Structure 1
Amino acid sequence: MTDLSLAVVLAESARRYPDKVAVVDGDVRVTYAQLWEQARSYAAGLRELGVKPGDTVALVAPNVVEFPRAYYGALAAGAVVVPVHLLLTADEAAYVLRDSRADLVVCHTSQLAMGAEAAGKAGVPLVTVGPVPSGSAPARRLEDVAAGVAPLRSYLTRSAEDTAVVFYTSGTTGEPKGALLTHLNLVMNATVNAFDANDARPDDVALGCLPLFHTFGQTVSMNSTFRVGGTMVLLPRFTGDAAIELMLREGVDVFHGVPTMYVALVEAAARYERLPRLRLCISGGASLPVAVLEKFNAAFSTTLFEGYGLSETSPTASVNQPHFGTRPGTVGHPIWGVEVEVARAEVEERIELLPAGELGEIVIRGHNVFAGYLGRPEATEQAVVDGWFRTGDLGTKDDQGFISIVDRKKDLIIRGGFNVYPREVEEVIARHPAVGQVAVIGVPHEVHGEEICAVVVADGVTGDELIEWSRERLGRHKYPRVVRFVDQLPLGPSHKVLKRELRRSVTISEE
């Protein structure tokens, strides 16, 4: 057995950079030595509450300093961490608690409305972290328990192949599944992101605005920043203006975000005479329209690196990297130690790799691939075939190794027997100067089977004008015949556009 704990990410940086600021949370500044001591104190408190190595601790917390304290504290105690999405209903969160067999819920006091109800429904004990709301007597506080015992001297031993974190997938088809990520998965992903794929440096000041309960925010933003010894400036609620103002105030030079965040930053940038000097910008979580990438690079005088990954791949699988150069519209090359290839999508029982340039399903293998779905051996068997993880994403790989994601298999639109990939249509519409955001979906149609519909956030343009714009730039079977305007696109907990919600609303209105 090889010993390895994800807690080592914080422990080692506390040893190397004890007096350096690890986290900025409003007016609070916490050094690496302080954060590691606080995490070990939380770990001792969790043990006092009966948490044993291998037990499961659910964490309900926003982007505040208590998140890394509790996260690394649970890991140091030898527990498995289940981060809970904060936008879930109490019933949805209770499902996660029951399915993960959580032994304890650690809930930030700002999230008690959902967290306490979910814990009650699932029959799981709860402790709080964070400030006590005035005039209330919340559940037992982890800080109070921890104050009565000495901090653990270090983290408890775990095996590299033991589960460290369980991420729940969004459940676009059926109930959410718990993806089992091992200590090796997550330590390697943080390390490769920090030292190989990206030009990360110990003097980085990164904006922690991605939800830390999500795999992208947790691994690429928090764990990778801590792995390299940088400083993370936390922003609990993202807006373009709030991000720019905080980045200017704290000297942030590294930004990790999803496409909707880059859209908001581009829009907000026009309102500022001075913008932050961003040295390293990473986009992931969903496809980034090339038009947005170009506008962001121009506004902030920087280079944005788009990457790709999933909860099941820790998450990073590929990214545009300084070593290979960048190519807009692609997700770059596989990270070190990981293979990303294209397989025949219609053959499900085995992996048939395709030559360069051919369209197929993106498949991944390497140190980043998860250990399976919790309690779902059949789903695991369908997802991991011949040692490769089948992503459900369609894409290509050119002869220089650049990977392009065309679309999700399930988002493919078939109009009159012709395949239409929404992303291609979105790229064209996103270039219209009046368009802020766009999502393209298929809606039922009696004649064509499906019709192409563009759902748009825009100002000063009509639907007919957008249809004409698209018709001039796309094949006859590709341009949208239906345009719907909305004030905002529906977003999930990880800031991805929820196309299933759009399909539901547009289908009803069109019938």
Structure 2
Amino acid sequence: MSLYENILAGLDRKKESLVTLEKCFTAGELQDAVFKYEMMLSPFNLEGKRVALLVPTISEFLPLFFAVNKLKGTVSPLSLQLRKGDLLNVLDFLDPHVVFSVNDHSGFAFSEVVTNWASGMNREALIFTSDDCTNWEVEIFHGSCKPLQSQLGGFITFTSGSTGTPKGVVFKDEVLQYGYDRLLDAMKLEPSDTVFVYTAPSTLYGVSSMNAMLKVGATLVTADDFDLVKMIHTMKKAKCNKITTTPSIFKSLYNFASRLDEEVVKNLELVCVIGEKVPANFKSYFPLMESCTFLSHYGSSESGSLANAYMNKDAEELLFTMPKEVDCKTVDGELFVKSGGLFTEYYQNPILTAEVLEDGWFKMGDLVEFIDQHTFKIVGRKKDVIKKGGVQVITSEVEQILSQIDGVKGVAVVGSPHEVFGEQIVAFIIADGITSKDIRSYCAGNFSSYKIPDKMIFIDEFPLINGKVDKMKLKSQLSRG
């Protein structure tokens, strides 16, 4: 059964299923859009082909996702935060047969980069481009054939790689059913709900959460652009009673709504935050929402949804509860899990896959302490990862990027607490004739904005321990100002 048949086909055509900042869509309109794309793509035989999506308009992104899956292609939604260097790395690595790309988004010419990539490859490719993500022009590039996926359907998301190499995370269709079940339980979803979902559609959680709202028959409310005023007005008009997003986004929404129209947040019954560390008393930040349920939803890009921690304003620590559908254990303090939401493999990287999957157990990288059989608290990370605004940033990747710049003689990257983003990126740099402005200028045109350091501190030498940079000492220097 395709994802379309499992999620969208059974909905009442008259049901208002999707609300964006600009327009409302019935289930019937979404179903018709799927049919439109199915007819458009059927002549190209998508079976086993990789189809990359750079489509910011959710009302077109979702039907495209369903249509490609229905035609047994493998969908790969790409992040719209990618810039030229990162985007080319992902395209080279994924080597998609088909790309749908908006011409311009947030001042970046996506289709120009994609088309130039395809023309220089001398390999087969179909490139669909559009100004509005509705009317598409196609350019056919001829060349050598590309290998097909052995597994039909499914999808591939991308996350940062520790060596600068993109990391493709491969999933089967079944993980969306698993994600639906976990969110149904965690958020107590009902067909009568109107849920604002603001998460990146290029991530597993973004795809899972949007599809979960559609499948349960709730009204999915989302935004193509980060416009707080429009988001608040849309939430009010749609009468949203639940929301899931990152803590930093929710803080911004709350701060605006408390001044613009506080009833928008007062009407929320449940807030589900994902992707960032939050303090146990996170709920205390929102005094207008005393009666609202606050939930921290735990998982990863590879494992999908795993556990939940319900918060109150006086809590001293977050305690996560793992559902019975997840098997878990610890090895040297690290959490290992088995679940129906696990990824299949890292795309074209069996060595990395073998490093994190052991006899069906996925190594989460989080150090945890179990209170009882299914309740645990997180005590740290095994790897040096910064979680900034819901995005994982691997410090070694940022260090590698900065080290390529002429004039940067040494660099060490650490994370430090941030009031809005959870964590921020701080780069300690040994430089010769180069300024922070030069570094930012270099990074802005070549790398995703979330990888660019929020702070740069120039020093003469690094503190060392056992011949390596002592990052703990650098962090302590930050805490002392």
TM-score interval (norm. to shorter): 0.7 to 0.9
Deviates more, 1:89-98 or 1:248-257: 89-98
Q: Distance in 1 between matches of 2:310 and 2:183?
A: 10
Q: Distance in 2 between matches of 1:204 and 1:140?
A: 39
- Map Cα deviations across residues 68-90 of structure 1 (whole Å, 9 max, x no partner): 12111111111110011001113
Kindly tell me: are residues 328 and 281 of structure 1, through their superposed partners in 2, closer, same or farther at Cα, counting changes over 3 Å? farther
Residue type of the alignment partner of 1:115: S
How many Å apart are 1:169 and its aligned residue? Answer: 1.3
Q: Find the partner of 1:89 among 63, 83, 92.
A: 83
**Which structure carries more strand by proportion?**
2
2:97 counterpart residue number: 103
Residue type of the alignment partner of 2:342: V
2:343 counterpart residue number: 370
How many Å apart are 1:20 and its aligned residue? Answer: 0.4
Residue type of the alignment partner of 1:166: I
2:367 counterpart residue number: 394
2:431 counterpart residue number: none
Residue type of the alignment partner of 2:271: C
Q: Distance in 2 between matches of 1:44 and 1:128?
A: 17
What TM-score do the two structures reach when normalised by structure 2? 0.73
Q: Find the partner of 1:76 among 70, 75, 87.
A: 70
Residue type of the alignment partner of 1:23: L
3-state SS of 1:202 partner: coil
2:138 counterpart residue number: 140
Q: Distance in 1 between matches of 2:458 and 2:230?
A: 36
Any conservation in 2 of the 1:10–1:32 contact (CA below 8 Å)?
Answer: no
Q: Distance in 2 between matches of 1:296 and 1:330?
A: 17
2:146 counterpart residue number: none
Deviates more, 1:230-239 or 1:123-132: 123-132
How many Å apart are 1:214 and its aligned residue? Answer: 2.1
Kindly tell me: are residues 132 and 210 of structure 1, through their superposed partners in 2, closer, same or farther at Cα, counting changes over 3 Å? closer
Q: Distance in 1 between matches of 2:295 and 2:345?
A: 29
Any conservation in 2 of the 1:26–1:234 contact (CA below 8 Å)?
Answer: yes
Q: Find the partner of 2:25 among 12, 23, 30.
A: 30
3-state SS of 2:302 partner: helix
Residue type of the alignment partner of 2:156: V
Any conservation in 2 of the 1:373–1:379 contact (CA below 8 Å)?
Answer: yes
Q: Distance in 2 between matches of 1:287 and 1:456?
A: 11
How many Å apart are 1:300 and its aligned residue? Answer: 6.3
1:178 counterpart residue number: 168
Kindly tell me: are residues 331 and 74 of structure 1, through their superposed partners in 2, closer, same or farther at Cα, counting changes over 3 Å? farther
Any conservation in 2 of the 1:275–1:300 contact (CA below 8 Å)?
Answer: no
Q: Find the partner of 1:340 among 328, 331, 339.
A: 328
Q: Distance in 2 between matches of 1:272 and 1:400?
A: 45
1:236 counterpart residue number: 224
Q: Distance in 1 between matches of 2:38 and 2:268?
A: 36
Q: Distance in 2 between matches of 1:509 and 1:267?
A: 40
How many Å apart are 1:95 and its aligned residue? Answer: 2.2
Q: Find the partner of 1:5 among 2, 5, 8.
A: 2
Q: Distance in 2 between matches of 1:453 and 1:177?
A: 21
Q: Find the partner of 1:246 among 225, 234, 239.
A: 234
Q: Find the partner of 1:385 among 351, 354, 358.
A: 358
Kindly tell me: are residues 405 and 389 of structure 1, through their superposed partners in 2, closer, same or farther at Cα, counting changes over 3 Å? same
1:267 counterpart residue number: 255
Pairing 1:292–2:282 present: yes
1:150 counterpart residue number: none
2:205 counterpart residue number: 216
Any conservation in 1 of the 2:102–2:130 contact (CA below 8 Å)?
Answer: yes
Residue identity (%): 22
Q: Distance in 2 between matches of 1:88 and 1:70?
A: 20
Kindly tell me: are residues 77 and 132 of structure 1, through their superposed partners in 2, closer, same or farther at Cα, counting changes over 3 Å? closer
Q: How many residues align?
A: 402
Q: Distance in 1 between matches of 2:139 and 2:98?
A: 13
Q: Distance in 2 between matches of 1:406 and 1:69?
A: 41
- Map Cα deviations across residues 142-186 of structure 1 (whole Å, 9 max, x no partner): 9xxxxxxxxxxxxxxx99x75511011122443121111101122
2:213 counterpart residue number: 225
1:316 counterpart residue number: 305
3-state SS of 2:306 partner: strand
Kindly tell me: are residues 77 and 331 of structure 1, through their superposed partners in 2, closer, same or farther at Cα, counting changes over 3 Å? farther
Residue type of the alignment partner of 1:126: I
RMSD: 3.9
How many Å apart are 1:305 and its aligned residue? Answer: 0.7
Any conservation in 2 of the 1:163–1:180 contact (CA below 8 Å)?
Answer: no
1:478 counterpart residue number: none
- Map Cα deviations across residues 12-31 of structure 1 (whole Å, 9 max, x no partner): xx424221011123342221
Any conservation in 2 of the 1:361–1:392 contact (CA below 8 Å)?
Answer: yes
- Map Cα deviations across residues 170-216 of structure 1 (whole Å, 9 max, x no partner): 2244312111110112222223322x333001111111322222222
Kindly tell me: are residues 185 and 59 of structure 1, through their superposed partners in 2, closer, same or farther at Cα, counting changes over 3 Å? same
4+ runs deviating over 6 angstroms: 450-453
Unpaired runs of at least 5, structure 1: 143-157, 345-359, 413-421, 427-438, 445-449, 459-481, 483-489
Residue type of the alignment partner of 2:71: A
How many Å apart are 1:497 and its aligned residue? Answer: 11
- Map Cα deviations across residues 357-411 of structure 1 (whole Å, 9 max, x no partner): xxx2122111111111111111111110122101222222212632322332223
3-state SS of 1:15 partner: coil
Q: Find the partner of 1:118 among 79, 98, 114.
A: 114
Any conservation in 1 of the 2:195–2:220 contact (CA below 8 Å)?
Answer: yes
1:47 counterpart residue number: 42
3-state SS of 1:405 partner: strand
Kindly tell me: are residues 247 and 397 of structure 1, through their superposed partners in 2, closer, same or farther at Cα, counting changes over 3 Å? same
Kindly tell me: are residues 138 and 57 of structure 1, through their superposed partners in 2, closer, same or farther at Cα, counting changes over 3 Å? closer
How many Å apart are 1:243 and its aligned residue? Answer: 3.0
Kindly tell me: are residues 62 and 328 of structure 1, through their superposed partners in 2, closer, same or farther at Cα, counting changes over 3 Å? farther
Q: Distance in 1 between matches of 2:14 and 2:180?
A: 22
2:466 counterpart residue number: none
Unpaired runs of at least 5, structure 2: 141-148, 400-411, 421-427, 429-439, 463-481
Kindly tell me: are residues 321 and 54 of structure 1, through their superposed partners in 2, closer, same or farther at Cα, counting changes over 3 Å? farther
Q: Distance in 2 between matches of 1:342 and 1:78?
A: 38
Q: Distance in 2 between matches of 1:139 and 1:5?
A: 27
Residue type of the alignment partner of 1:261: I
